[in-house]
Amino acid sequence: MSSRIASGDESAFTAFYERWRPFVEGLARQGMAGASEDITQEVFMRVIRSMPVLETERAVGAWLTTTTRRCVVDALRAQQRARRNDTLEREGTHDGVSGDLEGAMRALESSRDELRSLIEARVRFGWTLERIARAFGITPSAVDGRIKRGLRTMRDDLREETPS
């Protein structure tokens, strides 16, 4: 079914949504009851955008569990940032710089998540560059370049951490 969803089959997505919504909502409620509807919506947006082709229900359940947990963590972090910014503004200590820094940190985290997803699609699932490009809305050469640069950076970081 996940291959039909990836190809844009709306009826497959509808059936998938009806089948898995209670599961995802339950996980979201356990993680953050007050935002479970928003988290559930975000999980299914990620299904549409980037769910890999999975062969078994167990694999689908594991992927949805991981994705839901990530969405809960993202929502908790956003809530913490909002509270922190509200406190800074109330105290008059918000200088605007921390917001720029937070934006940069979010962009960095987002790029790490994207790189992780690109590498996982290529290595773990064996997707072609073209298939990954379609899933992420970028060109195959951009996929190739991002993966190469990301792996090079990780390799360099490991060399720096390893004592000689």
1 with 76, same domain: the answer is yes
Q: Residue 79 maps to which CATH number?
A: 1.10.1740.10
pTM of full prediction above 0.85: no
66 with 123, same domain: the answer is no
Which amino acid, one-letter code, is at 164?
Answer: S
54 with 108, same domain: the answer is no
Among 94, 113, 143, the domain boundary falls at 94
90 or 142, greater pLDDT: 142
What is the distance between the alpha carbons of residues 149 and 129, in angstroms, rounded to a whole number?
15
Residue 139 main-chain phi, psi, to 5 deg: -85, 155
Task: Provide the pLDDT for residue 22.
Answer: 95
Give the total number of structural domains in the chain.
Answer: 2
Task: Provide the pLDDT for residue 111.
Answer: 65
Task: Provide the pLDDT for residue 43.
Answer: 93
78 with 114, same domain: the answer is no
- The parent domain of residue 128 ranges over 98-164
